[in-house]
Amino acid sequence: MTKISRILCLALLASGALSVPAAADQVAREQNIVDLRLGQRVLVDDGSCPAGQIKEVSGAKMLSTGVVRTRKCIPRVGAKR
């Protein structure tokens, strides 16, 4: 292998490792989320979203009273846990 092809190979491996999404936590009820951090996402499987979707609760904004939560239904990926 030439030096340039080694560098390209390493660059591709590094970019692939960075593009893997972080796994979100999953709980059965929103009340089970105790310490939601800013930017954290938690999947809630409480049946409140339409079939094929799951509720995502995320820490959206920091206020003096704590982290403000946002909720939205997103497509379910993978098998139901």
Which tokens hold the place of 7? 């560098």
CA separation for the pair 72, 49 (Å, rounded): 9
- Per-residue pLDDT reduced to its tens digit, 30-80: 999 999 999 999 999 999 999 999 999 999 999 999 999 999 999 998 766
Lowest mean pLDDT among 1-10, 21-30, 50-59: 1-10
- Per-residue pLDDT reduced to its tens digit, 32-43: 999 999 999 999
CA separation for the pair 28, 26 (Å, rounded): 7
Q: What is the pLDDT of residue 30?
A: 94
pLDDT tier for residue 27 given thresholds of 50, 70 and 90: very high
